[in-house]
Structure 1
Amino acid sequence: MERTSTSRSHDPALHPERISLARMRRGLTKIELAAAVGVSARTVTTFEAEGAPPERAAGLSAATGFPASYFSRGAAPDVPADRMLFRAGRGTTSRQRHAAIAAGASGIEVDRLISARYALPAVDVPDGTGEDPVLMARMLRQMWGLGTRPLPNLVQLCESRGVRVYGLPELAESVDAYSIWHEEVPYVFLARRKTPERSRFDVAHELGHLILHAGLGCASRQVEREADRFAGELLMPESGVFEHLPANPSVERLLAVREAFKVSATALAYRAHQVGRMSDWAYRHTSVRLDGAGYRTGEPDGMRHHERSKVFPQVFAPSRRGRLGAGEIAATLSLPEADVHALTFDSAMRLVVGEGAGPSGSPRAGAEGTRPSRAGSASGGRAHPASERTSRRAGRRHLRVV
């Protein structure tokens, strides 16, 4: 995930990259968009390379569902497909991957708007390029003062260290997750189609990519294994596994510890076997029992809700002075309001139906020697008093994300 910058700066009447992003976001091929607009596929190719005349805005809007004004905005954030390390399902199509990329570009624009209005926690993510994944996970726990205890809400923990966590829309959900550095800011884009425990592992996996693979140009099995090793140690540290699990634990004991660490039962069993707390025979026997009880495809009696953001409920809170509404964000950025809701995990819609801004809640409810950190924050993401005064003078309000 190479840190990227904005794309080319020329400003045609209808911007070529925005035409491409809108098409990708809706899962359309160039041929399909051409048929919807009433032009040839070659013309669409020209639109996406050189821009389009203003009179085509209405047709592009009707075909993609994006406001006509979206296409005349300036250059969009560049989220290059060849730099993405997708944590995708086997059946994921190119349409779904492209939709995820386009959603990421919109998410970065939403984040810029929120960051202009609010002072978000400083980025405090170490650079672990080339380091051992397990050692980096242990170092991160030490740097963030986490010890060996089970981790709290992982979305909020990432947010408190400057990592932006955004949702993926339904079309892109099979991607599961991906991450990217953009202009020195780390982003995780996360789907919610899995169980809460497995989504939590996805967040840890993407955090591993941000730390270990920032300058990587392509994916590989080795890279994915490294991110998995990082996530395993971060969520279930070896010392914590030995502390909480006896040798060859019973399934009942395994399930009890699973609740404490908020991981899937199969992941905990694998981890216990990996670190030598479970013999080969015990692991096979446990796996058979878990498979028979439905734990291979689900998580019976697991976490009731996906972990919630702490940023978005504060941004959308009706009682917060200077709050942003999903409609205002959509209008300012010329985005479909439904896309804003998807990117922010439907936080605004939950508040409208009175579910509050607490850390839990259904993801669809209401509608739906250490190396230095990249941004050098030693305060755990909390604003320094001097910077707080400066931000207030500039009209930005601090969000409490701890």
Structure 2
Amino acid sequence: MRENTMSSSRLRSGDAPPSRFLSPSRIAIARQRRGLTKTDLARQLGVSPRTVNTYENNGAPLSRAGDLSGALSFPVGFFHLADCTDLSDAEVNFRAGRTTTAIQRKAAKAAGAIAMDIAGWIAQRFSLRAPNLPDLSGHDPRTAARMLREAWGLGTGPLPNLVQLSEFHGIRVFSLPALAEEVDAYSVWQGETPFIFLARRKTPERSRFDVAHELGHLTLHRNEDVAAAHEREADIFASEFLMPHTAIIEHLPQNPSVDELMEFKTIFRVSAMAATYTSHKVGWLSDWAYRQNCAELERRGYRHGEPEGMSVHETSRVFPQVFGSKHYLVADAAVELCLPAGEVHALTFSTALRMVGGSSVEPMVNVAARPVKLRLV
């Protein structure tokens, strides 16, 4: 993936616009987030598609801000801010099915651009961990997965909450809202900061695999444009990262039964089919035993779901503490970034909707001396 850096001309929320025109990129971002084509937006505005194209290339007159706000359900101020980060197709590896449409992919990229605004807002008020993600380009995916486990001191055992593990190592993880979540997941480097965007429309086990898959992209493909081979490499990385070869040998007998695989998948928090497939791939399950186990798992309903799987999706520790810190609310971010509050909720795992309760776990947010500067640790 190619690196992309924020423009030094980005305005802070509330600053005056630099020209007599509304931001062209923000018009495009808002339209894509709503799943509209240029023709759709033109119809709502009562103009031609060519005019909308001009708006998205050169900016719209300031007088059209109210009309755009009404058509796209974004506050008027959103269109007055400096341009958003532009995520090009060449730098985004979508973990998406073949049925995912271009509109859904654009909605996902637009959500990512908005999330980067939120990330910038948080970074101005909190000290976040610096990214700790080695560049493993050129390594075999399985070797790279073992190297990342070693770099992070994870051994060969079951991994903890992968969203929180990623946050702990400086990766910014955001959830994908409706429409955008059809892509499942994607990741990108923004300058020196890695981002993962994650849907939660499938099983929690699948979501864990998606995070591991995106870690593979971030470590293996940082300076590369999207290529067909990358998806397969990231899948291999994810399997080894979640279920190391040595762990399978240590925890499972050779040619394990379905019940033994079920116990393993519960411990490692992976899907039953993934545990079965990986055991076969590393030679710990014969071809015959693999076919028998797959047939039994399909009979039990594991081909397209996880009947006895994890009860909840893994979520962030950062956002509940940012917005439950007694200093900031979601409404504060929404107002200052000129976003609908629902957009902020949707991109931050909706955890900000709940108060942060007591916990025996050391908090990730510490309050420093005035002026208020919080530190995520």
TM-score range, shorter chain: over 0.9
Q: Distance in 1 between matches of 2:345 and 2:151?
A: 33
Q: Which residue of 2 aligns with 1:312?
A: 319
Q: Which residue of 1 aligns with 2:14?
A: none
Matches within 5 A, 1:39-50: 39-50=47-58
Q: Give the conservation status (yes or no) of the 8 Å contact 1:84–1:219.
A: no
Matches within 5 A, 1:152-163: 152-163=160-171
Which moved further from structure 2: 81-90 or 46-55?
81-90
Q: Which residue of 2 aligns with 1:224?
A: 231
The answer to whether residue 282 in structure 2 is matched with residue 275 in structure 1 is: yes
Q: Which residue of 2 aligns with 1:293?
A: 300
Q: Give the conservation status (yes or no) of the 8 Å contact 1:314–1:357.
A: no
Q: Give the conservation status (yes or no) of the 8 Å contact 2:319–2:351.
A: yes
The answer to whether residue 46 in structure 2 is matched with residue 38 in structure 1 is: yes
Q: How has the CA–CA distance of structure 1 residues 181 and 95 changed in structure 2, closer, same or farther, with 3 Å as cutoff?
A: same
Q: Percent identity?
A: 52
- The C-alpha deviation readout for 1:314-373, integer Å capped at 9, x for no partner, is 1121xx342x2111111110111111011001011133xxx74879xxxxxxxxxxxxxx
Q: Distance in 2 between matches of 1:183 and 1:218?
A: 17
Q: Which residue of 2 aligns with 1:233?
A: 240
The partner residue of 1:120 within 115, 128, 137 is 128
Q: Distance in 2 between matches of 1:186 and 1:205?
A: 14
Q: Distance in 2 between matches of 1:392 and 1:219?
A: 48
Q: Distance in 2 between matches of 1:171 and 1:137?
A: 31
Unaligned runs of 5+ in 2: 11-17
Q: Which residue of 1 aligns with 2:376?
A: 399
Matches within 5 A, 1:236-385: 236-317=243-324, 320-322=325-327, 324-351=328-355, 356=357
Q: How has the CA–CA distance of structure 1 residues 356 and 94 changed in structure 2, closer, same or farther, with 3 Å as cutoff?
A: farther
The partner residue of 2:181 within 168, 173, 177 is 173
Displacement of 1:172: 1.1
| Residue identity matched to 2:272 | A
Q: Give the conservation status (yes or no) of the 8 Å contact 2:125–2:372.
A: yes
| Residue identity matched to 2:296 | R
The answer to whether residue 6 in structure 2 is matched with residue 6 in structure 1 is: yes
* SS class of match (2:188): strand
* SS class of match (1:278): coil
Q: How has the CA–CA distance of structure 1 residues 4 and 30 changed in structure 2, closer, same or farther, with 3 Å as cutoff?
A: same
Q: Distance in 2 between matches of 1:57 and 1:356?
A: 41
**TM-score with structure 1 length normalisation?**
0.87
Matches within 5 A, 1:24-35: 24-35=32-43
Displacement of 1:81: 2.5
Q: Distance in 1 between matches of 2:156 and 2:134?
A: 19
Q: How has the CA–CA distance of structure 1 residues 60 and 357 changed in structure 2, closer, same or farther, with 3 Å as cutoff?
A: farther
Q: Give the conservation status (yes or no) of the 8 Å contact 2:2–2:90.
A: no
Unaligned runs of 5+ in 1: 360-381
Displacement of 1:288: 0.6
Q: Which residue of 2 aligns with 1:199?
A: 207
Q: How has the CA–CA distance of structure 1 residues 92 and 334 changed in structure 2, closer, same or farther, with 3 Å as cutoff?
A: same
Q: Give the conservation status (yes or no) of the 8 Å contact 2:22–2:80.
A: yes
Q: Give the conservation status (yes or no) of the 8 Å contact 1:5–1:78.
A: no
Q: How has the CA–CA distance of structure 1 residues 65 and 358 changed in structure 2, closer, same or farther, with 3 Å as cutoff?
A: farther
Runs of 4+ in 1 over 3 A off after TM superposition: 7-12, 355-359, 391-395
Displacement of 1:106: 0.5
Displacement of 1:183: 1.7
Q: Which residue of 1 aligns with 2:86?
A: 78
The answer to whether residue 25 in structure 2 is matched with residue 21 in structure 1 is: no
**TM-score with structure 2 length normalisation?**
0.93
Q: Distance in 2 between matches of 1:41 and 1:210?
A: 37
- The C-alpha deviation readout for 1:248-298, integer Å capped at 9, x for no partner, is 111111101100000000000000001111000000000011111110110
Q: Give the conservation status (yes or no) of the 8 Å contact 2:66–2:76.
A: yes
The answer to whether residue 69 in structure 2 is matched with residue 61 in structure 1 is: yes
- The C-alpha deviation readout for 1:68-97, integer Å capped at 9, x for no partner, is 110010121121123211000221101100
Displacement of 1:5: 1.4
Q: Give the conservation status (yes or no) of the 8 Å contact 2:138–2:220.
A: yes
| Residue identity matched to 1:81 | D
Q: Which residue of 1 aligns with 2:172?
A: 164
Q: Give the conservation status (yes or no) of the 8 Å contact 1:7–1:78.
A: no
* SS class of match (1:187): strand
Q: Distance in 2 between matches of 1:80 and 1:262?
A: 34
Q: Distance in 1 between matches of 2:87 and 2:93?
A: 12
* SS class of match (2:179): helix
Displacement of 1:6: 2.6
